[in-house]
């Protein structure tokens, strides 16, 4: 007598030439879908096959063994290149410079398209940069 779960036969062993189908989740714990390795259009059959999960083994003898003393555990020495922060900072500055120059080029292109004076825009940028060092007046 075959057992069924929601219309699917429950198998204890995977039949010959059948494969586990991992594309669909199983509706039943401890079982996975399997098919007869045919397409749906060519007579595919599906079933749920029982899969055994590996059993966890506990080594009680390991708990009885003494732990290593703290001085016996050696920690690896971490060495950091002192130039790394400097290199990272230089890279960040180069990226920021490229982005800033691209933004300025876009603004200059807009000035050209709209018929605005490019020199006026550049003079405003120069005034803005000159004012950065003054206290309280950044913009």
Backbone torsion region of residue 17, taken as left when φ is above 0, otherwise alpha when ψ lies between -120 and 50, otherwise beta = left
Residue 95 counted as domain residue: yes
User: pLDDT confidence of 33, banded at 50, 70, 90?
Assistant: very high
Provide the percentage of residues in the chain whose pLDDT is more than 70: 83
Looking at residue 1, what is its pLDDT?
Answer: 47
Residue 90: give the domain boundaries. Answer: 84-131
Please give the average per-residue pLDDT across 109-122, as a whole number. Answer: 89
The pTM of the whole model exceeds 0.85: no
| Nearest of 1, 12, 7 to residue 49 by alpha carbon | 12
**Cβ contacts of residue 125 below 8 Å, gap of 6+?**
104
Q: What is the mean pLDDT of the chain?
A: 82
Residue 74 counted as domain residue: no
The C-alpha angle with vertex 100 and arms to 99 and 105, in degrees rounded to 5, equals 95
Q: Does residue 137 register a pLDDT over 60?
A: no
Residue 69 counted as domain residue: no
Total number of domains constituting the chain = 2
Edge to edge, the sheet with strand 31-35 lists 4-5, 8-11, 46-50, 31-35, 19-20
Residue 68 counted as domain residue: no
Residue 31 counted as domain residue: yes
Please give the average per-residue pLDDT across 27-56, as a whole number. Answer: 88
């Amino acid at each position: 007598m075959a057992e069924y779960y929601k219309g699917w036969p429950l198998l204890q062993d995977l039949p010959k030439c059948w494969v586990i189908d991992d594309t669909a989740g199983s509706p039943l714990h401890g079982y996975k879908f399997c098919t007869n390795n045919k397409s749906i259009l060519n007579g595919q059959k599906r079933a749920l096959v029982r899969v055994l999960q590996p059993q966890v083994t506990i080594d009680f003898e390991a708990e009885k063994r003494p732990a290593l003393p703290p001085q016996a555990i050696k920690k690896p020495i971490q060495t950091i290149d002192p130039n790394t922060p400097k290199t990272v900072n230089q890279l960040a500055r180069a990226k920021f410079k490229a982005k800033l120059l691209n933004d300025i080029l876009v603004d200059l292109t807009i000035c050209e398209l709209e018929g605005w004076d490019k020199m006026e825009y550049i003079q405003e940028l120069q005034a803005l940069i000159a004012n950065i060092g003054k206290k309280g007046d950044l913009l």
